[in-house]
Chains A and B, each alone.
Chain A
Amino acid sequence: MNRILLVEPDQYLAEIYSSALQHNGNIVNVARTVAQSVNLLDTEKFDLMILELKIAQHNGIELLYEMRSYVDWNKIRIIIHSSVPEQKMMTSKTMAQLDVDKYLFKPRTTLSELCNSVEQIMSRQYS
């Protein structure tokens, strides 16, 4: 069972995505802000984080840099799931630097594709 931190500012979408991920056998915690994410990272253990980059007040990239600066959080796998297209936000070099496993463009990613990506990344992790 994968423990997932879903960082999604939109309350409605957070509920939809977490329902689908739970339906696929994952344990999901939701954070709507960067502060909530950091609190959850501090108090819970996660295998994977699904991150929207567009967050009010702070953006997801800041959170990624913060995460990667702590050894404890370095093993957490990352899927960026954002409504901002990949090429606008990140180069492949930055993706590699921040150890991002996958970038999914939200408008074009179905729930099944999101769940499949989680499974693929986590099975790679444990193989």
Chain B
Amino acid sequence: MTAQTYHNQQIEDDKARLFIALAEQMKTPLIKASRTAELARMMQDNTRLNEIEYIADMGLDLIDSYILSLKLQAAGDDIQLQSVSLSAILNEVAHSLQKLQSANSFDIELHIVGKYGPIMAHPAGLHAALMNIGTVLMAANAEREITKRPVLKLAARKTPRGIAAGIFSSIDGLDAATFAKSRKLYGTAAQPLSQLTSENGTGIFIADSLLQTMSSSLRVSHYKKLSGLAATFMPSQQLTLV
């Protein structure tokens, strides 16, 4: 097997594993929608219809992110990276996450440290990746015994390697070794991130796949005593040239 054939095989294996993980993850919203409908019938309670709608939308968002990651992968080197304002994207994601949370159970904060210009990224891909990370971290928080109100912090800062952006929370069970292991396990293990969530955390692996198409990748990171996932982006040279 040549190095190129091996590399191509690896890509196909990763795609298959991500698809299996997605299919497994999709069981959760479908179970929720189906059981909610049954409960509504049992209780003769039509107010639960909007819950079903919300659950279905969450499932559809996950499928859309997956499809986007496949399209961006297929585009390969032809992917159209654009000059993007990271703070604008983080702001949009913070608003979208705010709408998603049930009963206002989180404090969602935005921290943009320092001044910097745009980065090179695919705007829809970056938005989807950050949304997926945020959604998994919110779900993981909801599984825990929490004594104080949880915080979800969306942050960006300059680093020597570029501009880092990520989502952080006061959650435990997230470290570099666990995350590295989970990358090998997703698609085959029921709980590749078992220290973080009881689910299979597919949103995180889809986010990773999306970010890889932008020549970045997810890593475990820490920010002001919070743990989370972040990626580093190259600054756009566009404004410099102008």
Binding site for B on A (CB under 8 A): 9-13, 16-17, 19-20, 23, 32-33, 35-36, 52, 54-57, 59, 83-84, 88, 106-107, 110-112
The distance in angstroms between the C-alpha atoms of A32 and B173, with both chains bound, is 16
Which of A12, A57, A112 contacts B173 (CB under 8 A)?
A: A57
- Indicate if B145 sits at the interface (CB-CB under 8 A): yes
Q: Once the chains bind, are B195 and A35 in contact (CB under 8 Å)?
A: no
Q: Once the chains bind, are B173 and A56 in contact (CB under 8 Å)?
A: yes
- Indicate if B190 sits at the interface (CB-CB under 8 A): yes
Closest B residue to A54 by beta carbon equals B198
- Indicate if B39 sits at the interface (CB-CB under 8 A): yes
Interface residues on B, range: 20 to 34
Instruction: Tell me the chain B residues, 185-203 only, with Cβ under 8 Å from chain A.
Output: 190-191, 194-199
Which residues of A have CB within 8 Å of B173?
A: 56-57
- Indicate if B98 sits at the interface (CB-CB under 8 A): no
Q: Once the chains bind, are A36 and B145 in contact (CB under 8 Å)?
A: yes
Q: A10-B143, A88-B190 are in contact. Are A20 and B42 (CB under 8 A)?
A: yes
Nearest chain A CB to B94's CB is how many angstroms away? 22
Q: A16-B32, A56-B195, A56-B198 are in contact. Are A33 and B143 (CB under 8 A)?
A: yes
Q: Once the chains bind, are B30 and A55 in contact (CB under 8 Å)?
A: no
Nearest chain B CB to A56's CB is how many angstroms away? 5
Q: Once the chains bind, are A107 and B35 in contact (CB under 8 Å)?
A: no
The distance in angstroms between the C-alpha atoms of A54 and B190, with both chains bound, is 8
- 11 CB < 8 A contacts A-B: A9-B198, A10-B28, A32-B144, A54-B190, A54-B198, A54-B199, A56-B191, A57-B173, A83-B27, A83-B31, A83-B190
Binding site for A on B (CB under 8 A): 27-28, 30-32, 34-36, 38-39, 42-43, 55, 102, 139-140, 142-145, 173, 190-191, 194-199
Q: A13-B32, A83-B28, A111-B35 are in contact. Are A56 and B42 (CB under 8 A)?
A: no
Q: Once the chains bind, are B30 and A32 in contact (CB under 8 Å)?
A: no
The distance in angstroms between the C-alpha atoms of A9 and B201, with both chains bound, is 14
The distance in angstroms between the C-alpha atoms of A41 and B14, with both chains bound, is 42
Nearest chain B CB to A117's CB is how many angstroms away? 15
Instruction: Tell which of B38, B55, B145, B198 has the most Cβ of chain A within 10 Å.
Output: B198
The distance in angstroms between the C-alpha atoms of A11 and B106, with both chains bound, is 14
